[in-house]
Structure 1
Amino acid sequence: MQEVIYLSDRKLSQFLPGLRSAWPRQRVSVSTPFGGVEVDPSPGPASDLWGRHLLRVVRRVEESARWYTEEGMRPGQWIAFEAPLNYFVLDGADPTMVFFADAPEPDRPVRLLLHGSVDHLIAGPPARVTDETRQSGTLVRNLLGSDASAPGALLAALSDDLGTGPDGRRPSLVGALHALLARIDAQTHPETAATMRGYARVTTGFAAAKLPGLLVASPLYVEYTDA
């Protein structure tokens, strides 16, 4: 059985309207294409129903999911991924938003950045990545009740990077995302990245001539792989 770190009941409820209130936040064993998954519910019919529907959703996602390093990804598509990731809350951004970021490697063609809600974490609380030289995401702190896994929340977290510069021009989204990733890389360590895998829905993605491509997505679930 694999240890689940993150499970989005919001995405599950998109497949299964009306069942979100039945999602337990504890442990149940479910077989997925990656192997067994354990999440901890209370015993009973609701837990059995939840486990069966989770398996159905994962199987449906698997049918259309592409490997995350493939070219031509579009927003809204499902991806499967496996990579060394750190997960954390970015200091100064929305405290309800959790990020998963891979460690930079020279030969990796695509960088992976996942964004979601801390409410969907099953593992312990994430680390906090601190950058005291600037404030990040001023706008997102004012978006009370926003879904931290939604594309709009990601854009809000980039509000400082996307703001108008001294010359009156706004930087591109890809430039802002690479700037965010650079700040993350400066505050995290490859040695603490654990190999994780799962499925996620693409928020946006970019190819780059000189830099690795960048894929940004919001996860359905994330689990540790076997050592």
Structure 2
Amino acid sequence: MSEYREFVYLSDAKLQQFAQPRRRFFARPSAVRLTSPVGGVEVETPTADAERDRMRRLAKLDKYLGERAEWFGTQGLRSGQWVWFEAPLRCVTLRDNYQHMVLFVDPAPGEDLPYEQETGCRLLLHGSSRHLVGNAPVAVDGPALEDIDGNGSSIGTTFLTSAGHAVRALSLEHDPIADGVSAPSSDLTGSGVWDLLAAIDAHYAHAPGAWMRGLARVTKGLPATDHAARCLVASPLSVEYAHDQA
């Protein structure tokens, strides 16, 4: 692996969910005692390098989860489990009320046969767009999430498509106010996810993704059907370029 890591996505919300074990209280060397006419005031010294501390915490978490996470293509994964992945992924942003979401999607069936044969499973990662880092892959609007049903009316009725239902279910976990909530939604159905994937696949036909790797928490595993392979839906802690796969 390269000495340097180039991140596309890094979830501070997930980093903050992990805390070091409690230790006995000792005087904090980082605290400074100032004296004023009205008495002593304790002031914390600023962090010397917040970004370096962030990367240090991520490195520790990588090691901790790396010893426990399963390969995303493993059969029988449960919601809440941690997985590691390495796959060619496309980055997709969404429209209108879902602009706070970002999706990472692997190749459509038949596009990358060696990858498909190795994994036997589709991968759909969903997260908050505010956790994108640096120059993310060029992202365009995803599939239509609403449709108009004329039904004899001059105005028609707007309704969610099957893909729209899947996106709405995923968005409940990544509302900007409630980011970090990981409980899967009961509205996340296989038909909705497969319709969402089909719409993205059609939009990105033959557009190669970039090889990326990272860690993610399982939202839901969807079993194979007569018409679709297994699919793992998960929320990433980190997504980075796998330059050694390029």
- Specify if TM > 0.5: yes
The AA in structure 2 aligned to 1:218 is S
The DSSP-based 3-state class of the residue aligned with 2:6 is strand
Contact 1:150 1:218 in 2 (8 A): no
Q: Out of 230, 233, 237, which is 1:213 matched to? A: 230
The DSSP-based 3-state class of the residue aligned with 1:192 is coil
Equivalent residue number for residue 112 of structure 1: 123
Contact 1:115 1:149 in 2 (8 A): no
Q: Does residue 15 of structure 1 match 2:18?
A: yes
Q: Does residue 100 of structure 1 match 2:116?
A: no
Query: In the aligned structure 2, how far is the partner of 1:99 from the partner of 1:118?
Result: 9
Query: In the aligned structure 2, how far is the partner of 1:44 from the partner of 1:83?
Result: 36
C-alpha deviation, 1:222, in angstroms: 0.3
Q: Out of 3, 6, 9, which is 1:6 matched to? A: 9
Contact 1:111 1:214 in 2 (8 A): yes
Per-residue CA distance 1:193-213 (angstroms, 9 max, x = gap): 111111100000022142210
Q: How many correspondences in the alignment? A: 187
Q: Please identify, of 76-85 and 137-146, the stretch whose mean Cα deviation from structure 2 is larger.
A: 137-146
Contact 2:86 2:213 in 1 (8 A): yes
Per-residue CA distance 1:21-44 (angstroms, 9 max, x = gap): xxxxxxxxxxxxxxxxxxxxxx93
Q: Does residue 121 of structure 1 match 2:132?
A: yes
The AA in structure 2 aligned to 1:127 is V
Q: Structure 1 residues 112 and 57, CA, compared in 2 at 3 Å: closer, same or farther?
A: same
Q: Percent identity?
A: 35
Q: Out of 192, 195, 205, which is 2:208 matched to? A: 192
Equivalent residue number for residue 51 of structure 1: 55
The AA in structure 2 aligned to 1:183 is A
Query: In the aligned structure 2, how far is the partner of 1:144 from the partner of 1:222?
Result: 20
Contact 1:5 1:224 in 2 (8 A): yes
Contact 2:213 2:242 in 1 (8 A): yes
Q: Structure 1 residues 115 and 147, CA, compared in 2 at 3 Å: closer, same or farther?
A: farther
Q: Out of 172, 196, 205, which is 1:180 matched to? A: 196
The AA in structure 2 aligned to 1:178 is W
Query: In the aligned structure 2, how far is the partner of 1:179 from the partner of 1:127?
Result: 18
The AA in structure 1 aligned to 2:213 is R
Query: In the aligned structure 1, how far is the partner of 2:189 from the partner of 2:177?
Result: 20
Structure 1, unaligned stretches of length 5 or more? 18-42, 157-161, 163-171
C-alpha deviation, 1:130, in angstroms: 4.3
Q: Out of 76, 100, 117, which is 1:72 matched to? A: 76
Equivalent residue number for residue 35 of structure 1: none
The AA in structure 2 aligned to 1:179 is D
Q: Structure 1 residues 139 and 67, CA, compared in 2 at 3 Å: closer, same or farther?
A: closer
The AA in structure 2 aligned to 1:13 is Q
Query: In the aligned structure 2, how far is the partner of 1:61 from the partner of 1:199?
Result: 8
Query: In the aligned structure 2, how far is the partner of 1:120 from the partner of 1:146?
Result: 14
Q: Which has the larger radius of gyration?
A: 2
Q: Please identify, of 190-199 and 115-124, the stretch whose mean Cα deviation from structure 2 is larger.
A: 190-199
Query: In the aligned structure 2, how far is the partner of 1:71 from the partner of 1:194?
Result: 25
The DSSP-based 3-state class of the residue aligned with 2:207 is helix
The DSSP-based 3-state class of the residue aligned with 2:67 is helix
Query: In the aligned structure 1, how far is the partner of 2:198 from the partner of 2:135?
Result: 25
